[in-house]
Amino acid sequence: MDNIKWGIIGLGGIAKKFASHLKETEGGVLHAAASRSKEKANQFAKDFDALYAYDSYEALLQNKEIDIIYIATPHSHHYENTLMCLNAGFNVLCEKAFALNVDQVKAMIEKAKEKNLFLMEGMWSRFNPTILAAKTEIENGAIGNLKAVKADFCFHFDYNLESRLINKNLAGGALLDIGIYPIFLSYLFFGKPVRMHVDSEYFPNGVDKNLVMLFDYKDGEEAILNASLQYFSPCDGFLYGDKGCIRLHGRWHEATAYTKFRKSMEDPITVNFDKRALTFGYEIDEVHYCLRNGLKESRKWSWQNSIEIMEIMDDVRKYIHLDYGEIEKL
Ligand SMILES: NC(=O)c1ccc[n+]([C@@H]2O[C@H](COP(=O)([O-])OP(=O)(O)OC[C@H]3O[C@@H](n4cnc5c(N)ncnc54)[C@H](OP(=O)(O)O)[C@@H]3O)[C@@H](O)[C@H]2O)c1
C-alpha cells in the first residue's frame, strides 16, 4: 500500500497538532483539509502541506483519493460527522469523546459494520508506551497486586461561552473533555466499576466544572479520579499495589516516564521513554497498521472498549444530572 492519505475535518487546535505529528510519522500523508472557512482551510493546507483545501466538510467527501478522515470537531458533532463520513464511504478516526452517549456510539459502530469500514475513537493514551510498560510491570508482579488507581486531569479555564470547553450546545464540561482520561486509566486496569460515587460543581450554564469520582470494582479495588476546569494540577497518575506503587509522571496521559517505588520507599527506579510519547505518532501507527491489514477495528482500542467507556461516562452523567438535550438525540 502506498502512503495512507489522510483528510481532516474541523481545523482547530487539535487538528493542527495532529497534522504536525502526522508529518513525523512514516507511511501517512495529509492529503486534504476541510473547514467551514475557505481561508482557514487554505492556510492549514499551506502550513501542513496538504494537496487540497475545502471550505466545507461535504466538499472534502468528494475527494475519493482519501483513505481515512480524522474528525477533530467538538464532541457535539462527532456522531453526525462520523455518520456522514462513513455514509460517504470513508474510514474514520474520530477524536475522543467518541460521541455524547452510548446510543450514539453504538449507532456509529453499526454504520461502520454496515459499510465495512474502519472506525476508531482517538483514545491516544491507549497507545502511550510509558503507560503500556507500567502495565506490563504490574502484570509481571512489580508492585504486587494492583489495588487502586488514582489519576486526575485538571487545568484552569476561564468561563467563556464561546469555547467548546464550556458551551453546552457544543457538549462542553470537564467530563467529556478531560474526565474521560482518568476514567480511561481506571478502565485500562480494572474494566467497568460495580459502584460509583460522584460529585460535581458547575459553571453558571450548567456544565460540569469540577468532577470527583470514586469507583469500586468487584474484587474490592478502587479508583480515585478527578477532573477540573478550575484549578491546576501536574496530573500525576498513581498505580497502587500491595507491595509498591508506580507513579506515571505528569501529565500522565502523555507520560514519558514512570517511577517505581517499593513498599520500603528505598531505591525508587525511574524509567524514561522517548518524547514521541507526547505525540499522536503511536496512535497513527495503530491506524496505519489496521488499514494495511484490512482490520475494521483496532484490537488495542476496540469498539467494545469505546462502548464501555461511554457507558461509564453515561453513568457518571446520571449522578451529576448533566443532560445535553436535543444534541444527544439519534
Ligand atoms: N487527543 C487529545 O490530546 C485532544 C486534545 C484536545 C482536544 N481533543 C479533542 O479534539 C476535538 C476538538 O478539540 P479542539 O481543542 O481542537 O477544539 P477547537 O480548537 O475548538 O476546534 C474544533 C473545530 O471544530 C470545528 N467546528 C465544527 N462545528 C463547530 C461549531 N459549531 N463550533 C465550533 N467549532 C466547530 C471548527 O473547525 P472549522 O472552523 O475549521 O470548521 C473548530 O475549529 C474534541 O473532541 C476534543 O476532545 C483531543
DSSP class per residue in 266-312: -S-EEEE--GGGGSSHHHHHHHHHHHHTT-SS-SSS-HHHHHHHHHH
- What's the distance, CA 259 to chain centroid? 24
C-alpha–C-alpha distance, residues 158 and 229, integer Å: 8
Residue whose C-alpha cell is 464550556: 166
Q: Across the strands, what pairs with 120?
A: 93
Q: Which three cell numbers stand for residue 165?
A: 470547553
What does the DSSP 8-state code read for residue 73? S
Residue 305 is predicted with a pLDDT of: 98
Tell me, in angstroms, the distance from the centre of ligand 1 to residue 261's CA.
Answer: 39
C-alpha–C-alpha distance, residues 328 and 79, integer Å: 9
Ligand 1 close to Cβ of residue 16 (< 6 A): no
Residue 263 is predicted with a pLDDT of: 81
> Could you tell me the CATH superfamily of domain 4-124?
NAD(P)-binding Rossmann-like Domain (3.40.50.720)
Give the pTM.
0.97
**Parallel/antiparallel/unpaired status of strands 244-248 and 257-262:** antiparallel
- Residue with CA at minimum distance from ligand 1 atom 18: 12
Q: Which three cell numbers stand for residue 278?
A: 507526547
Residue whose C-alpha cell is 456544565: 207
Tell me, in angstroms, the distance from the centre of ligand 1 to residue 71's CA.
Answer: 9
Listed by start position, the domains of the chain span: 4-124, 126-280+311-328
With a cut of 50, which residues of the chain have pLDDT below it?
none
CB atoms within 10 A of CB 212: 16
- Residue with CA at minimum distance from ligand 1 atom 25: 10
* CATH class name, domain 126-280+311-328: alpha beta
Residue 265 is predicted with a pLDDT of: 83
Pocket test for ligand 1, best of 38, 70, 164, 165 (most atoms within 8 A of CB): 164
Q: Which three cell numbers stand for residue 152?
A: 486526575
Tell me, in angstroms, the distance from the centre of ligand 1 to residue 134's CA.
Answer: 31
The SS3 assignment for 43 reads: helix
Ligand 1 close to Cβ of residue 10 (< 6 A): yes
Residue 1 is predicted with a pLDDT of: 65
Tell me if domain 4-124 and domain 126-280+311-328 are identical in fold: no
